[in-house]
Structure 1
Amino acid sequence: MNSGLRRYLMIGGILIVGYLVIQYFKPKPTNWAPTYLSEDKIPFGTYILRQRINDILPNTTIKTVQSAVYNNLKEKPNGQSNYFIIASNLKVDKLDYLEMVKYMQSGNNIFIAAFQIQGVLLDKLKLQITSDFNFQNKRKYPINFVNPSLKRELDYYFDKGISGQYFSKVDSTRAIVLGKKQDEFANFIQYKFGKGSLFILPNPQLLTNYSLLREDGLDYAAKALSYLPKAETLIWDEHFTRPNTKDSSVLRVLFKYDELRWAYYIALFSLVAFIVFEIKRRQRIIPVVERLKNTSVEFVEVVGRVYYQQRNNRDIAEKKVNYLLEYIRTKYRLKTSDLDQEFKASLINISSVSADIIDELFEEITYLKAGQMVKDQQLIRLNKLIEQFYKQDQ
């Protein structure tokens, strides 16, 4: 190996190592995904809220649950409690709603902070949520409380569009407006159910790390959560935010990381492309296969033509009579060696065939056994009587 090539290889190796070191130590980009998980320290996690919740609700025990709302409220702890849900998307079905109403009527309270609410909850409360969100997130919307003791002289302003949600439709006969956006649209409301209440905040990002790191955000969150009365327990529901930990898919590790997921997609696409091109290049011409003929039908037609051409009526009649007698022996366990009156009486009693048909049929059989010549009309009559016997004996 000459010195020039060795120099180029050394420079190339150094550059590759340097690139790998830079990629390893470069700062990770900020994750702006709204997870609302209590252990996440990213901007839209709820780590700070979980750590400081007892500053707002002192002497309250935090109980984390991950089951459906119906199950959690059915198994609620003893004593007064508050139920807290923060999520991007909340879906409440009829059973959940009925259990929520019973829970609140008994003196407990529910606080919901969700960006999107689905199910029966909006219909029951006659609510409609609208957003002024824009992709640049540059506009700051002023929000404030309605209660004079909580309302700040200077409105709260938040960037990133985290206060852009509001209620465009509110049932004024039931809802109590606790906060407004731009001093016009309700963005924090309360519904009373018996001894308890339901609080709904359509801007859950106001309770995340990004907001609570600011003095304004911390003050707003504290005032909003202060509407929850003192209770022994705060039930923190993670059912709508916690990923399914019971995923047993063999591909769960691949889909957990973006790099592995894309590697899987590329490999799958390459395999499909390879199969398509290989089939196109190597596939042989598919021969035309003629449909199989029904040889049974042809056989019957041939046998029928032979009997018709030979005109052997006696042979046909004897075969039909033998088949009939075999049928009687098999079904009724009668001896057919003597076709006397006793035999006919027994057959009439145990079968469902009329006596007239049996008498006429056995007259023809007796005539046949006498060795007389069988004409076409006699064969046709014998065949009709046998068919009537089978039909009535069903």
Structure 2
Amino acid sequence: MDKRSKIALYVIGAVILFMIIAEVTKPKALNWRDSYSAADKIPLGCYILFNELETFSDGEVLISERSVYEYLKDVDTTASKSLVFINNYLSFGSEESKTLMDFAKKGNTVFLSGNYFYGNALDSLNIVVERQYSNLYKKESNHKFTSPSLQKNNRLFKDVIENSHFSSIDTLNTTILGTVTTKDEDNYDETYPNFIKVDVGEKGGQFILHTNPFAFTNYHLMADNEDYAATVLSYLPKQQIIWDNNYKSGRKVVTSPLRYILNNTALKWAFYISMFSLILFVIFRGKRTQRITPVINKLENATVDFTRTIGELYYQHGDFTNIIEKKIQYFLEFVRRNYYLDTNQLNQNFIEKLAVKSSNTKEDAKALIDYLVFLKSKTNHTEQELIELNKKIEHFTKQKL
């Protein structure tokens, strides 16, 4: 090895050593991602709550790491239990919703705390959740209990909070347990229910719904808001609790060895250094031994042909419902990707923003969104509805194209 090669290797080694020292010694940034996982000690994790949950449980706290449909098939329901869900959003499919409803009708309790909910079971409770999209994480809110004896446990949440409330409830079967009060643009108080109980079945089953999952995070439990969280959980009957650890934004998912490596700081940097060293080796070694690179024709993109074939197959079999569902999904993805809009709530606020960002009229935007909502509410669809949906989407997206 000549002198120049040795100097180059020394310089590369010094740079790598400096990078390692800098990475190891730099302070870690505080992780503010939504988690709600029992294992996470970050501000928006639920490590503290989970370790105190036995206070409210009759016996050992059970942990569900699977979907509701899978987990409840193996659970003994001869004794009543409370199933606890806490996450920023909670979404249940048709089978999961049916399982939840059957579980409650047997005399059990389902506790849900989230900013917004989806699922047939929640639709059958006749409740509507509305999110306050303005001033997220900034607008302070006063959370109060309706019971006069619990007023001392009311709390004002000043930060790290997203405000949601129930805009519609079934007054015949629903009991309001708590409210949230915020200031409107004119500095007047606006009060809405945000903590309710819905009776289900004839065996004392119930859904308890709450729209402030932030109250149960490590951040607020260490910020003098623990009495509020404890009071909310005190409405659970004294029975065994099942803690959901599956429907979590911070759920640990490891699907490949590479993902595990990249999630571990030490292994990640070892991987990067190895790749960097390998590239340098190839560059320097290739100057002497590289052969003429043969021309390889670019592979043809068969995605369009494949998509066309699958679409024709659905169409020939008259599966219009499947095609409509996919067209709606692709359109909403188009909106999220091009206009950076949240498509979870297709309300009036969403329609106004979509009309402005897409350069369409408000009437066109409302007509299309109303038609999407109408189609999503149906279980079976016709060819004419598919044609009409396609026309409306093509007319609406012509501004983008």
Please state which band the TM-score falls in when normalised by the shorter chain.
Answer: 0.5 to 0.7
The question of 1:27 aligning with 2:47 is answered no
- 1:377 corresponds in structure 2 to none
Q: In structure 1, what is the Cα distance between the partners aligned to 2:148 and 2:47?
A: 30
5+ residue gaps in structure 2?
A: 1-9, 182-189, 280-292, 298-401
- 1:230 corresponds in structure 2 to 238
The secondary structure found in structure 1 opposite 2:150 is: coil
The secondary structure found in structure 1 opposite 2:61 is: strand
Q: How far is 1:41 from its partner?
A: 0.5
Aligned-pair Cα RMSD in Å: 3.6
- 1:116 corresponds in structure 2 to 116
Q: How far is 1:190 from its partner?
A: 0.8
Q: How far is 1:53 from its partner?
A: 1.3
Cα 1:17–1:214 change in 2 (3 A) is same
The aligned runs of 1:186-225 (5 Å cut-off) are 186-193=193-200, 194=202, 195-215=204-224, 217-225=225-233
The aligned runs of 1:324-363 (5 Å cut-off) are none
Q: In structure 2, what is the Cα distance between the partners aligned to 1:284 and 1:212?
A: 61
Cα 1:173–1:27 change in 2 (3 A) is same
Q: In structure 2, what is the Cα distance between the partners aligned to 1:58 and 1:112?
A: 16
TM-score by length of 1: 0.57
The aligned runs of 1:240-389 (5 Å cut-off) are 240-241=247-248, 243=251, 245=253, 247=255, 249=256, 251-253=258-260, 256=263
Q: In structure 2, what is the Cα distance between the partners aligned to 1:59 and 1:123?
A: 30
Q: Decide whether the 8 Å contact of 1:134 with 1:161 is kept in 2.
A: no
Q: Identical aligned pairs, as a percentage?
A: 26
Q: Decide whether the 8 Å contact of 2:104 with 2:110 is kept in 1.
A: yes
Q: In structure 2, what is the Cα distance between the partners aligned to 1:243 and 1:208?
A: 15
The secondary structure found in structure 2 opposite 1:52 is: helix
Cα 1:244–1:23 change in 2 (3 A) is closer
Cα 1:106–1:25 change in 2 (3 A) is same
Cα 1:159–1:176 change in 2 (3 A) is same
Q: How far is 1:159 from its partner?
A: 2.9
The secondary structure found in structure 1 opposite 2:31 is: coil
- 2:397 corresponds in structure 1 to none
Q: Decide whether the 8 Å contact of 1:141 with 1:164 is kept in 2.
A: yes
Cα 1:134–1:23 change in 2 (3 A) is farther
- 1:173 corresponds in structure 2 to 172
Question: Structure 2 counterpart of 1:189, which letter?
Answer: I
The question of 1:130 aligning with 2:130 is answered yes
Cα 1:174–1:213 change in 2 (3 A) is same
- 1:141 corresponds in structure 2 to 141
Question: Structure 1 counterpart of 2:226, which letter?
Answer: L
The secondary structure found in structure 2 opposite 1:230 is: coil
Question: Structure 1 counterpart of 2:99, which letter?
Answer: E
Question: Structure 2 counterpart of 1:138, which letter?
Answer: K
Question: Structure 2 counterpart of 1:226, which letter?
Answer: S
Q: In structure 2, what is the Cα distance between the partners aligned to 1:44 and 1:240?
A: 15
Number of matched pairs: 257
- 1:239 corresponds in structure 2 to 246
Cα 1:28–1:75 change in 2 (3 A) is same
Bigger Rg, structure 1 or 2: 1
The secondary structure found in structure 1 opposite 2:236 is: coil
5+ residue gaps in structure 1?
A: 1-9, 271-280, 286-394
The secondary structure found in structure 2 opposite 1:61 is: coil
Cα 1:61–1:26 change in 2 (3 A) is same
Q: In structure 1, what is the Cα distance between the partners aligned to 2:210 and 2:196?
A: 7
Q: Decide whether the 8 Å contact of 1:110 with 1:197 is kept in 2.
A: yes
